[in-house]
């Protein structure tokens, strides 16, 4: 089946630095990808919709200047957390559409970001 | 997307059948009901989807009553590896930009 590869799986960075998370569709082209954030014991919260060749669409309350999304090709979307702070520590997950309906989504394995 | 309500958590012993019910009183005519499973530190994984009556696959069954205001995910003979969070989602596919919105989910803990 369609696979989305997400890297790194975990990263630790210092406050004030930036971290880039990559999400690749391995055997299909993803026009649209989605980025979620998940805090411990909480549900996934959609951050933004990444569109190939155009600007991302951010959900209300998500700082677009802090969470930079680039979707330069049909197989790669990146999320850069800029000037990271401890409160940005979370589990970040990307997703892509691979079909129709609620079953038509595949998710990356997630990235555990810890900001120290 | 229609708002969903699920129990926050459930406990079960290995080998038992587990039924997780999701309420979605405001479901629209065109909405599908979809369930995802998420293991710790992993992305969600699709389990099952249905529109009405009963759907069964190799993993689970989904029961949807005639009024469609609720649905029940049934996991037969659970094992320890079924310990996960189960999300019920309700919505319609509006195209390539359709996005999944997750509710609170049900945290299932299976023990020996």
A77 interfaces chain B, CB cutoff of 8 Å: no
Tens of pLDDT, residue by residue over B72-90, are 999 999 999 999 999 999 8
Residue A43: pLDDT band with limits 50, 70, 90: very high
CB-CB neighbors (< 8 A) of A49 in chain B: 97, 99
Tens of pLDDT, residue by residue over A3-34, are 999 999 999 999 999 999 999 999 899 888 99
> Across the interface, which of B93, B100, B101 has its CB nearest the CB of A100?
B93
| Rounded average pLDDT over B50-65 | 95
Q: How far apart are CA A115 and CA B13, in angstroms?
A: 38
Residue A99: pLDDT band with limits 50, 70, 90: confident
| Rounded average pLDDT over B3-13 | 95
In chain B, the residue whose alpha carbon lies closest to the alpha carbon of A56 is B97
Q: Across the interface, do B32 and A32 touch by the CB < 8 Å criterion? A: no
Whether the pLDDT of residue B63 is over 80: the answer is yes
Q: How far apart are CA B49 and CA A1, in angstroms?
A: 17
Per DSSP, helices labelled H in chain A are none
- What are the structure tokens assigned to A80, written together? 């850069």
Q: How far apart are CA A15 and CA B41, in angstroms?
A: 23
Instruction: Supply the pLDDT for residue B95.
Output: 61
A60 interfaces chain B, CB cutoff of 8 Å: no
End-to-end CA gap in chain B:
37
List the single best residue of B44, B73, B101 to mutate versus A (max A Cβ within 10 A): B44
């Amino acid at each position: 089946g369609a696979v989305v590869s997400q890297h790194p799986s975990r990263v630790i960075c210092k406050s004030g630095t930036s971290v880039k998370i990559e999400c690749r569709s391995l055997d299909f082209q993803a026009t649209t990808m989605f980025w979620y954030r998940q805090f411990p014991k909480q549900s996934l919260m959609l951050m933004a919709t990444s569109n190939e060749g155009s600007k991302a669409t951010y959900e209300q309350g998500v700082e677009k200047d802090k969470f930079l999304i680039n979707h330069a090709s049909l197989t790669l979307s990146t999320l850069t957390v800029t000037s990271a702070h401890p409160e940005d520590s979370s589990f970040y997950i990307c997703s892509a559409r691979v079909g129709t309906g609620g079953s038509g989504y595949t998710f990356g394995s997630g990235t555990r970001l810890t900001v120290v | 997307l229609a708002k969903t309500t699920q129990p926050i958590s459930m406990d079960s012993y290995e080998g038992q059948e587990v039924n997780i019910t999701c309420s979605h009183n405001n479901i629209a005519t065109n909405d599908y009901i979809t369930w995802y499973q998420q293991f710790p530190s992993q992305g969600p994984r699709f389990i099952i989807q249905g529109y009405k009556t009963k759907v069964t696959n190799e993993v689970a069954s989904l029961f949807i009553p005639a009024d469609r205001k609720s649905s029940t995910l049934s996991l037969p003979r659970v094992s320890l590896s079924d310990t996960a969070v189960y999300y019920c989602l309700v919505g319609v596919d509006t195209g390539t930009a359709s996005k999944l919105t997750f509710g609170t989910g049900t945290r299932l803990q299976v023990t020996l």
